[in-house]
Homo-oligomer: A and B are copies of this chain.
């Protein structure tokens, strides 16, 4: 399954956002390809002015590269909204579908789709949708793992990459905007126990890392 140059830019942007640092091997793992493939594409994208690259030292998106990345993210998220809101998809099934559609839709189509959907601000996983000019309003959120016992928090965002995580959240009743309190925290394995709607739930580290919240008190 061949990836497009655009896809690299998008993933660089996202890894930078979520992990903080982008490396050749990190990107390779995220994209399910090998490091040399990444290295190769990085230098191509450097030539075309989308990336600033210093071999062996690191790379980052240029303004141009970031614009392309954000435009693709915009397409992805708007399609996700359409799939969930209009076609009735479950939130854990839309990622892959949107991944394909984003590459097959013109800017004009997306403009029309955005209007059709009444200019949604967030995608089904709580991620903000960049506007036509590439402006994106980032929420201030922290992963569940950073909460302390007694904290009360509200779910604002969930990572959309893993179907299993999303499926599990749905199963136990966790959705966006759910408010919960931290009952227990086990530093040993970084898991947390939370309470919401009169039930207690264990979140493993893997799960907790994918849930982003805003403390509400």
- Chain A residues near B (Cβ < 8 Å): 83, 86-89, 97, 100-101, 103-106, 109, 112-113, 116
Residue in chain B with minimal CB distance to A88: B112
Q: Is there contact, CB below 8 Å, between B89 and A112?
A: yes
Q: How far is the CB of A80 from chain B (nearest CB, A)?
A: 12
* Closest A-B pairs by Cβ, 5 of them: A100-B104, A104-B104, A87-B112, A101-B104, A87-B116
Residues in B neighbouring A89, C-beta threshold 8 A: 112
Residue in chain B with minimal CB distance to A116: B87
Residue in chain B with minimal CB distance to A2: B2
Q: Is there contact, CB below 8 Å, between B97 and A109?
A: yes
CA distance A101 to B105 in the complex (A): 7
Residue in chain B with minimal CB distance to A113: B87
Residues in B neighbouring A103, C-beta threshold 8 A: 104
CA distance A104 to B103 in the complex (A): 8
Residues in B neighbouring A109, C-beta threshold 8 A: 83, 87, 97
Residues in B neighbouring A100, C-beta threshold 8 A: 104-105
